[in-house]
Amino acid sequence: MTPFSQAIVNDAANPYLIQPAIIVEKIREAEYIDTYRLRFVDEQVRRSYRFATGQFNMVYLFGVGEVAISVVSDPDEPESLDHTIRVVGRVTKAIAQLQPGDELGIRGPFGRGWPLESIRGKDIVIVTGGLGCAPVVGAIEYVFRRRSQYGAVKILHGVKTPHDLLFRERFDAWRRQPDTQVLLTSDEPDKTWHYHVGVVTELFEQVAVDPARTVVLMCGPEIMMRLGAPILIERGVPAAAIHVSLERHMECGIGLCGHCQMGPYFLCKDGPVMSYDRVAGFLGQSGV
Amino acid sequence: MKPVSEQTSALLPTSSLQRLIDLLQAKGHRVVAPTLRDGAVVWDTIRQVADLPVGWRDVQEPGRYRLENTGSAQVFGIVHGPQSLKPFTFAPREPLLQIERTKKGFSARPTLPQHENIAILGARVCDLAGLAVQDHIFLKDAHRDPYYEIRRAGLFLITVNCTRSLATCFCASMETGPRARSGFDLALTELEEVFLVEAGSEAGQEMVSALSLAPALTMHAHEADQQIKACAISQTRRLDRSQLPQALYDVHEHPRWDDVAARCLACGNCTMVCPTCFCHAVEETPDLAHQRSEHTRLWDSCFTQDHGYIHGKNIRPTIKDRYRMWLTHKLASWIDQFGSSGCVGCGRCITWCPVGIDLTEELAALMKPSTQAKEKPSQT
């Protein structure tokens, strides 16, 4: 007999099966960006579903398709499942039309998230750039909900124009946290901008870093990681203590469709959060 | 599956091949073999020896494929057609889910394929190697692919050891052929008026017993050995894997990529005929009433514009980017991902490339130190 002769397949083991989830709440974050609070329709799925911060789900809309979106809510409250979705393409545009009570589909969670448990007690430097950066918002909220378990927190956020600064209230709230520094910068400021002017890596000069106890979480354009990480390494932060959240097209979430490759990695299963030492050689390489 | 020693080999007279086909059918297998259609070889259901392309052989060169009738009695004279075994397990179009609209939302139901026993008569050794590579991808990871698994479970594989190489073959240098070592139920070697038969599995052994075949003599085994060895030696193409994977990562900026990009049409043929390429897209097809939707997996190719697309930008906008992605993945990153090369040396990508791009030649050129190798572009 061949070793394949007993192909017994049940639905529970089918990685393509989509579970319906109701939109309980739709929270406007900014123009074209909403957070969808979801609740699985199936009670058993609702009870058994677990995720880690930084993991993602394939979010499905009937008749339209799936898109990979990171989970931003707290893993200790898995029954409340939040995804912050920006309208960028065909599927997200259609999702934006939905209202509370409508259904989405969920398949996941997939991938490796932020190493938040193993970095307890460390100082955390968060470097983000661009619009929103939902994958790291979940990590920041996670840390602040367990504030005493972590050391100093420094949040460095760069935007192109002041108009691109989303989650203003969140930045203000984070700024009020103990032992926390929030620094903002804009490349192309207007008259209302009273923070730093320039790119986010320039903010590194304004923060004190104890390399031995610092962990860096980065999310944003790859060029920011490529230029930023070496500066931190120069200051003594080990490359393995720098974690970056990377983005590629994904259709399956389980390392089979081939679209999310970066060098030898499938970002859907080896990432989307990768330690910088593993990807340094591939960041910024054209066509990788 | 342990290789069966040559002492247990048996003889099936060429004139008795129909007995094997009949037995396979009696045991509930649909027998699929190479057949001729529109001047090419395609896998199709057969019922009798006459359905096989007896006396035909293929001539393959970069960008060229021709069939010719030699008038000989050779049953398996054709080495291979454009299709590997891939379509049997990783279906070109696989419906994954049927999704029905309900009052408030939807309900999804997996559309798993029906289990079907298919006996493949005439699989080549490089194709067994390709199948083993795909088994690793679809079945060895944390998430087993149930669609692949069901299709795979139904296969009974009868391979034919190669006694003739094509100009495009290089399995010997990939150590995947031309003799089958594992991964088959039965292996045939076609000799003068007789097949040397080896069982590679219990199911294969049962088949040999049921046919009550005469045991092979040493001279038959010796003759088969000689022919297979001669076939390996006759291969002129080879792929030097000694420096891989690292050497290919190291030549990311080699000028040869521009050279091959000027020839490559980005048609994706190489990925379609490749026994190991596994990229796919998932397509959503609602009906007109928007009441029912099909969630379907389709073969994709890294040569398409969409493959590297992510909102607002394309990771691989140029043909150079895409050819480099394909070759680097196939020969280098594949090793890091799955522990083996993504190439089995079947040579199909060379034959079916409309402009005859030969990956063995491209790799050799890339491995030559280039005096004009560009510096890595400086940070911008």
Give me the mean pLDDT over the A94-123 stretch: 96
Q: What percent of chain B clears pLDDT 90, i.e. is strictly above it?
A: 91
Give pLDDT tens digits for B93-119.
Answer: 999 999 999 988 899 999 999 999 999
Give pLDDT tens digits for A37-77.
Answer: 999 999 999 999 999 999 999 999 999 999 999 999 999 99
Give pLDDT tens digits for A162-219.
Answer: 988 888 888 999 999 999 999 999 999 999 999 999 999 999 999 999 999 999 999 9
Residue A13: both structure tokens together: 């083991």
Report whether A96 contacts A62 (CB < 8 A). no
**What is the distance in angstroms between the Cα of A2 and the nearest Cα belonging to chain B?**
7
The pLDDT of residue B378 is 44
The pLDDT of residue A78 is 83
CA atoms of A270 and A266, how far apart (whole Å): 6
Pairing state between β A261-262 and B10-13 = unpaired
The pLDDT of residue A135 is 86
Q: Does B246 touch chain A (CB under 8 A)?
A: no
pLDDT band at B197 (very low <50, low <70, confident <90, very high): very high
Q: Tell me the residue type at B260.
A: V
- State whether A62 and B101 contact (CB < 8 Å): yes
Question: Which residue in B149, B278, B377 is closest to A9 by CB distance?
Answer: B149
The most confident of A281-285, B36-40, B57-61, by mean pLDDT = B57-61
Give pLDDT tens digits for B257-289.
Answer: 999 999 999 999 999 999 999 999 999 999 999
- Name residues 177-216 of chain B within 8 A of A (Cβ): 185, 201-203
Residue B70: both structure tokens together: 């030699």
What are the sequence ranges of the domains in chain B?
6-93+100-233, 246-367
Residue B376: both structure tokens together: 């890595």
Question: What ipTM did this prediction achieve?
Answer: 0.91
- Provide the terminal-to-terminal Cα distance of chain B, rounded to the nearest Å: 55
CA closest to A108 among chain B residues: B143
- 3-state class of A201 per DSSP? helix
Minimum mean pLDDT range among A155-159, A271-275, B10-14, B100-104 = B100-104
The pLDDT of residue B127 is 97
- Name residues 90-119 of chain B within 8 A of A (Cβ): 96-97, 99, 101, 104-108, 110, 112, 115
Q: Does B141 touch chain A (CB under 8 A)?
A: yes
Give pLDDT tens digits for B173-196.
Answer: 999 999 999 999 999 999 999 999
The pLDDT of residue B337 is 96
CA atoms of B370 and B379, how far apart (whole Å): 23
**Which of B91, B115, B107, B84 shows the shortest CA–CA distance to B344?**
B84
Q: Does B27 touch chain A (CB under 8 A)?
A: no
Q: What are the two backbone dihedrals, phi and then psi, of residue B367, each rounded to the nearest 5 degrees?
A: -80, -15
What are the DSSP calls for B161-200, one per residue? --SS--TT--HHHHT--SS--SS-SEEEEEETTEEEEEE-
Question: In the predicted model, is pLDDT for residue A8 greater than 80?
Answer: no
Domains of chain A in sequence order: 11-109 (2.40.30.10), 123-279 (3.40.50.80)
The pLDDT of residue B8 is 72
CA atoms of B355 and B46, how far apart (whole Å): 34
Give the single-character DSSP code of B360.
H
CA atoms of A24 and A248, how far apart (whole Å): 29
**What is the distance in angstroms between the Cα of B69 and the nearest Cα belonging to chain A?**
36
Contacts of residue B1 in chain A, CB cutoff 8 Å? 2-3
Probe site for chain B from A22, A55, A62 (most B CB atoms < 10 A): A62
The pLDDT of residue B53 is 97
Contacts of residue A103 in chain B, CB cutoff 8 Å? 104-106
Q: What are the two backbone dihedrals, phi and then psi, of residue B261, each rounded to the nearest 5 degrees?
A: -65, -30
The pLDDT of residue B369 is 75
Minimum mean pLDDT range among A273-277, B5-9, B299-303 = B5-9
Q: Which residue has the tokens 């043929």?
A: B269
The pLDDT of residue B193 is 95
Contacts of residue A249 in chain B, CB cutoff 8 Å? 307-310, 315
Instruction: Provide the β-strand partners of residue B294.
Output: B98, B285
The pLDDT of residue B119 is 98
pLDDT band at B370 (very low <50, low <70, confident <90, very high): low
Q: What are the two backbone dihedrals, phi and then psi, of residue B321, each rounded to the nearest 5 degrees?
A: -60, -40
- State whether A88 and B101 contact (CB < 8 Å): no
Pairing state between β A214-219 and A265-266 = unpaired
Give pLDDT tens digits for A137-155.
Answer: 999 999 999 999 999 999 9
Q: For all residues of chain B together, what is the average pLDDT? A: 94
pLDDT band at A11 (very low <50, low <70, confident <90, very high): confident
Question: In the predicted model, is pLDDT for residue B379 greater than 50?
Answer: no
What are the DSSP calls for A104-153, one per residue? EEEEEEESB---TTTTTTSEEEEEEESS--HHHHHHHHHHHTTGGGS--E
Residue A72: both structure tokens together: 């931003």
- State whether B279 and A259 contact (CB < 8 Å): yes
Give me the mean pLDDT over the A79-101 stretch: 94
Give me the mean pLDDT over the B216-227 stretch: 95
The pLDDT of residue B375 is 47
**Which of B261, B330, B274 shows the shortest CA–CA distance to B86?**
B274
- State whether A259 and B308 contact (CB < 8 Å): yes
Residue partners of B168: CB distance under 8 A and separation at least 6:
B60, B61, B62, B237, B347, B348, B350, B351, B358
The pLDDT of residue A232 is 96
| Centroid of chain to Cα B9 | 26
Distances (CA, A) of A166 to A132, A134, B329: 6, 10, 38
Pairing state between β A56-61 and A214-219 = unpaired
Q: For all residues of chain A together, what is the average pLDDT? A: 92
